[in-house]
């Protein structure tokens, strides 16, 4: 299991290393990391998947029919698998052990309604990547009045769905469960 703090740290270091600034764009990150996004159609019944592409690259298969906010989160989620579970650029042994056909398939679990630990970790990575901790707390403060957070403007600021912003606030211990 990878701790929440560690996931936060990895997401921060990737944003910083790539020189990404607000608004954080996971597709741009993918390109900078030598990855490729390939569209898949809706009849695949999955949102996305990630696959190794040679020694120095990867492919994210993305359902392009999904809404924009969801696609952003999904690509960031797949990047979570890439760094946390495939070892890309941080665990050579693990990365080398993955074959070119080695899939890390999120939506498979989603379809079975079975949220595995890896799925949770990839979701936390996506949230950390799209909504950096310090900035999230700052923006949340700006949208706090009478002890009540307005979630919509926070979600809009980070270009994520309302539910993604709520989860991030909960994981950070700012919003009540
Ligand atoms: Zn996944």
Amino acid 115: pLDDT: 57
Spatial neighbors of 135 by CB under 8 A, at least 6 apart, are 22
> How far, in Å, is the centroid of ligand 1 from the Cα of 23?
23
pLDDT over 90 percentage in the chain: 72
What is the SS3 assignment for 39-72? EECHHHCCCEEEEECCCCCEEEEEECCCCHHHHH
Long-range contacts at 27-30 (CB < 8 A, ≥ 24 apart): 27/72, 27/75, 29/76, 29/79, 29/129, 30/60, 30/75, 30/79
> How far, in Å, is the centroid of ligand 1 from the Cα of 143?
31
> How far, in Å, is the centroid of ligand 1 from the Cα of 145?
36
How is residue 144 annotated by DSSP? E
> How far, in Å, is the centroid of ligand 1 from the Cα of 50?
9
> How far, in Å, is the centroid of ligand 1 from the Cα of 119?
5
DSSP string, 92-105: HHHHHHS-TT-EE-
Amino acid 42: pLDDT: 63
> How far, in Å, is the centroid of ligand 1 from the Cα of 142?
32
> How far, in Å, is the centroid of ligand 1 from the Cα of 122?
6
Cis check for the bond before 169: say yes or no (omega within 30 of 0): no
Residues of the chain with pLDDT under 70: 42-46, 101-115
> How far, in Å, is the centroid of ligand 1 from the Cα of 151?
25
């Amino acid at each position: 299991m990878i701790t929440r703090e560690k996931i936060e740290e990895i997401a921060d270091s990737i944003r910083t290393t790539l020189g990404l600034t607000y608004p954080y764009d996971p597709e741009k990150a993918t390109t900078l990391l030598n990855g490729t996004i390939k569209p898949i159609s809706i009849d695949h019944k999955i949102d996305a998947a990630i696959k190794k592409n040679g020694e120095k690259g990867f492919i994210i298969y993305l359902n392009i029919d999904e809404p924009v906010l969801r696609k952003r989160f999904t690509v960031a989620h797949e990047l979570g698998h890439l760094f946390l579970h495939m070892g890309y650029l941080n665990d050579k042994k693990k990365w080398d052990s993955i074959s070119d056909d080695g899939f890390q398939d999120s939506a498979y679990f989603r379809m079975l309604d079975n949220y595995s630990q890896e799925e949770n970790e990839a979701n936390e990575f996506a949230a950390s990547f799209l909504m950096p901790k310090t900035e999230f707390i700052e923006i949340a403060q700006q949208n706090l009045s009478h002890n009540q957070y307005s979630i919509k403007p926070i979600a809009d600021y980070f270009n994520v769905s309302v539910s993604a912003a709520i989860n991030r606030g909960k994981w950070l211990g700012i919003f009540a469960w």
